[in-house]
A and B are shown apart, each in its own frame.
Chain A
């Protein structure tokens, strides 16, 4: 069993460490970030209730851009880099990145989809009479597949790897397995985001 402890004491070699283990010092869900999430959610609810074009467009475009960029960057750029890092470096990077992802991704996805649905209702683009209805349905399908992958694989792996790292003696094999699952899922989602870009630019230019 590979065992990993706090970064300064981490040994890349398998086997138990001489020093007594202690859990890494990080928050699985950063509490300060919850306040920012709450503000964004209140603004999102206000935008949907108000049903005006600009706030809905803002949330959908800003949220969608953030979602696409994060998925592409994480899956296609950062993922392979993390895979080549040493175990202590990977642990340190993971404990800094993953708690933020726990808050960022659900917030960005909720803002994009909720405002997107309201925007399509406002503009009438979700009606069967809309000339590009097929493209809209295609976007539903892409988002549906992405949602199942993200909710079923990515998000659970994200949380589980943080719980593993919080243990006094994290299991390197488990972390490796969960991180691979996270990175591969993010890579697939990144590629699927390219389909979203094609569909959304087609809809915006028609």
Chain B
């Protein structure tokens, strides 16, 4: 099996997810105390940066099956936006507000983009049929 050279998309994607998970655990483990938002903000920025770098590196792969990538990503995005909305609803239901709500909402956006991207990449990297 001959295979293209790919950036470490899965590893970087999991690292990006891990960063927002750590931020979420840090925030939720301090309820209801006042907690410094410095660490979760830094983790969120790092997570978004890793995700951006990851997608940029993937864009440079010649002949990547983008048709298949977007075909899978759009449905996965719909599913993971729904689960993100469920989690957001649970936060709002429990009167979360202010800085922690903003950080967790942005983390959910990273999650809702990163997970579909991981699924779509895993499908598209083995695609040898779609050249549309």
Indicate if B7 sits at the interface (CB-CB under 8 A): no
From the candidates B13, B32, B93, B122, name the one contacting A128 in the complex (CB within 8 A). B32
Q: Are B31 and A126 in contact (CB under 8 A)?
A: yes
Contacts of B76 in A (CB 8 A): 159
Task: Please report the total number of A residues contacting B with Cβ < 8 Å.
Answer: 42
Q: Are B126 and A49 in contact (CB under 8 A)?
A: no
Contacts of A92 in B (CB 8 A): none
Specify which of A51, A141, A160, A164 lies most central, judged by the most chain B CB atoms within 10 Å of its CB: A160
Segment of A63-71, A81-89, A110-118, A197-205 engaged in the interface with chain B: A110-118
From the candidates A48, A110, A137, A153, name the one contacting B83 in the complex (CB within 8 A). A110
Indicate if B94 sits at the interface (CB-CB under 8 A): yes
Q: Are B126 and A45 in contact (CB under 8 A)?
A: no
Complex interface residues of chain B between 1 and 36 (CB less than 8 A to chain A) = 1, 10, 13-14, 17-18, 21-22, 24-25, 28-33
With A126-B28, A171-B1, A171-B126 as given contacts, are A45 and B21 in contact (CB-CB < 8 Å)?
no
What are 23 A-B pairs with beta-carbon distances under 8 A?
A: A1-B1, A29-B75, A45-B89, A110-B86, A118-B90, A118-B94, A126-B31, A127-B32, A128-B32, A140-B25, A140-B29, A141-B25, A147-B21, A151-B115, A152-B14, A152-B118, A155-B115, A156-B121, A156-B123, A157-B122, A160-B123, A167-B129, A171-B126
Q: Are B86 and A45 in contact (CB under 8 A)?
A: yes
Task: Please report the total number of B residues contacting A with Cβ < 8 Å.
Answer: 38
Contacts of A160 in B (CB 8 A): 119, 122-123, 126
Indicate if B50 sits at the interface (CB-CB under 8 A): no
**Nearest residue, chain A, Cβ from B13:** A152
Indicate if A73 sits at the interface (CB-CB under 8 A): no
Q: Mark B32-56, 1 if CB is under 8 A from A, else 0.
A: 1100000000000000000000000
**Residues of chain B whose beta carbon lies under 8 Å from any beta carbon of chain A:** 1, 10, 13-14, 17-18, 21-22, 24-25, 28-33, 68, 72, 75-76, 79, 82-83, 86-87, 89-90, 93-94, 115, 118-119, 121-123, 126-127, 129
Contacts of B115 in A (CB 8 A): 151, 155
Contacts of A157 in B (CB 8 A): 122
* Interface SS, B side: helix
Indicate if A148 sits at the interface (CB-CB under 8 A): yes
**Nearest residue, chain B, Cβ from A102:** B79
From the candidates B33, B75, B90, B127, name the one contacting A48 in the complex (CB within 8 A). B90
**Nearest residue, chain B, Cβ from A51:** B93
With A45-B86, A118-B94 as given contacts, are A156 and B18 in contact (CB-CB < 8 Å)?
no
Contacts of A1 in B (CB 8 A): 1
**Nearest residue, chain B, Cβ from A147:** B21
Contacts of B22 in A (CB 8 A): 144
Contacts of B127 in A (CB 8 A): 163
**Nearest residue, chain A, Cβ from B18:** A148
Q: Are B21 and A49 in contact (CB under 8 A)?
A: no
Q: Are A156 and B119 in contact (CB under 8 A)?
A: yes
**Nearest residue, chain B, Cβ from A162:** B123
Complex formed: what's the CA distance from A149 to B115 in Å?
Answer: 11
Specify which of A41, A156, A171 lies most central, judged by the most chain B CB atoms within 10 Å of its CB: A156
